[in-house]
Amino acid sequence: MYTRFMVAHNSIRHRLVLLHGITATSHSLKQSGEILRDLLQADEVVLPDLPFHGAGEQLPSYKVPHMLEWLSALVADSLTDCEHLTIIAHSYSAALLLLWAQAQSKSLENVECIAIAPPLRITRVARQLSQAISMLPKRLSWHTFAGPSIKPFLQTHISAYPRRKLDRDRIYASTKHDDNSYERYVVQVQMNTNLYEHLERHPITEIHAPTLLLLCGKDLVVDSPRLARELIDQGHELLHIRYVSNSGHLLISQDPERLVRIIHEWQQLKHSEQADYLKAASSV
């Protein structure tokens, strides 16, 4: 399922693709998409639902290899009749985007990747949540899942689970009206767990597209300080890391204007570095 916002142009010079995180849908980024389209001067914004989310596809498997095939097809389709493609991905999708950028055989100059809060290193709370959800029955009504009995269960298995997140999850669950939604939620958490396991076996070691990585200091999901240190030590040539100390996991939806300012700073830095390179090369 694709939601598109377009402006009146005969051709697409700049296309923007926004990818949401686990348990969300493209609707969660609709308002941010309109803001980002205007401030980044995109001719078109594409908002797909991830597989197993909303109206998204049902792939043969939720595991990372199948998800990477889906993302590769999306990128290839998005590059059609387009001079420049920007992909902004959040959380699970951000990690998937980094894995995709690593898998490319050559540098992609007409693609910009912005990865926000990818769970390459996760907090203890996030890992405990994925383990706890995997223990729940495969079929359960949303009334039961959203009821008071779920809090003691999560508090028992997740020692540091924040109360505000428990309340948020209960509100989210109570908006659902069918048993299949609960089953889909379990699949979505299993997708996250599979991603964690995949990243342990296949860590990010090389990036083949200009990439801005945003890590948030108040993130309850991603162990941002540890991840920032590790990636800086690795010294990826095309990876620019920005640590946003006073922001949480949901930067893309809570403060899209700030996100745009950070993107513009990164783009200006890239252009400045390219100009310095060309100047040095011409003097040889």
- Model confidence over 52-109: pLDDT tens digits? 998 899 999 999 999 999 999 999 999 988 899 999 999 999 999 999 998 887 777 7
Q: Which token pair is 72?
A: 């590769």
Mean pLDDT of 135-158: 51
Query: Quick one: pLDDT at residue 89?
Result: 96
Tell whether pTM > 0.85. Answer: no
If you average pLDDT over every residue of the chain, what do you get? 77
Q: Which token pair is 46?
A: 């594409």
Neighbour-count burial for 69-89, b at 16+ CB within 10 Å, e otherwise? ebbeebbeebbeebebbbbbb
Q: CB neighbours of 187 closer than 8 A, spacing ≥ 6?
A: 52, 62
Please list the residues that pair with 53 across neighbouring strands: none
Greater confidence (17 vs 190) lies with: 17
Query: Quick one: pLDDT at residue 142?
Result: 43
